[in-house]
Structure 1
Amino acid sequence: MTIQNITLPLPEHLYLRFEQIAKATQQSMTDVLLHAVKVGSPPRWDDVPVIFQAELAALDRLDDKALWQIVRSQQSENEMNRYETLLHKNANETLASAEKDELNHLRQEANRLMLRKAHAAALLRWRGHQLPPADKL
């Protein structure tokens, strides 16, 4: 197989992203870039709400072990029960003002967790891992 070298100008944000992935996966920049050419670039985080972007961007720097921990993470049982209670009260229009704030906070935290889990899973798939079905995590 013949190898061709090319010079390619990369925008700084892409270069930094690939560099972070190379460090996190302990691969050379060349290997990461070749992988990107073969399978496409890593999953994007810049099309999610702004309040979550920095947190998702930071996942690029994590190694695979840390990403697996995120994929397997869950809300606590107490948080899930409280969220369900507040949702029920909200449906019956019996929420107090403080409870509405709490429901909004719990909803935002649930969204944050789901986005983190989904992005970590997408990064792991991009890095070549097979993920089991969600009920097996």
Structure 2
Amino acid sequence: MNEQTITLTLPNSIYDRIRSTAQAASITSEEVITQSVSLLLPAFESDIPPNLRFNLTKLPLLNDIQLWKTANSRMNNNQQLRLEELAELQKHRSLTRIEQSELDNLMNEAQQIMLCKAESRRILAQRGHIVFKPIEH
């Protein structure tokens, strides 16, 4: 992977949050910043794995019932529990290579589910559906 180095001046309050997050997650401050920026910015199509790109391109072809099902889908309970277990474990000690690989795979799966859910809701909204209940005051 090609990498670029940048120099960034941050307020102490932000730097303290980065450092605290890094310590809690047992990762470096650089990893916290990289993950934060990665999550904040939209992905380029080339960044999306081919299988996810394929699933996203199929969504507009689904009928509304199928889209609602995708929009409300969830990771299976066993995977969700394992993801939470590994994330909690990572707070207390370094994960083994196998555990880290498993966590990475589960995080990737969760992100793919969330992207498909979001895209399904966007398509449903385009089709005139109310995808989020308005907040009543």
TM-score interval (norm. to shorter): 0.5 to 0.7
Percent of counterpart pairs with the same letter? 29
Q: So what's the TM-score if we normalise by structure 2?
A: 0.59
Aligned residue identity for 1:76:
N
Residue 77 of structure 1 pairs with residue 74 of structure 2: no
Structure 1 residue 76 displacement after superposition: 1.9
CA distance in 2, matches of 1:88, 1:131: 32
Paired residues in the alignment total 89
CA distance in 1, matches of 2:43, 2:61: 16
**Unaligned residue ranges in structure 1 (runs of 5+):** 1-44
Structure having the higher Rg: 1
CA distance in 2, matches of 1:94, 1:82: 16
* Residues 58 and 46 of structure 1, relative CA distance in 2, 3 Å threshold: farther
Task: Give RMSD over aligned pairs.
Answer: 1.9
Aligned residue identity for 2:66:
A
Q: So what's the TM-score if we normalise by structure 1?
A: 0.59
CA distance in 2, matches of 1:129, 1:105: 33
Aligned residue identity for 1:113:
I
8 Å Cα contact 1:83/1:106 also seen in 2: yes
> In structure 1, which of residues 47, 50, 75 is the aligned counterpart of residue 48 of structure 2?
50
CA distance in 2, matches of 1:47, 1:65: 29
In structure 2, the residue matched to 1:62 is: 62
In structure 2, the residue corresponding to 1:98 is in which secondary structure? helix
Aligned residue identity for 1:50:
I
CA distance in 2, matches of 1:119, 1:69: 12
Residue 111 of structure 1 pairs with residue 111 of structure 2: yes
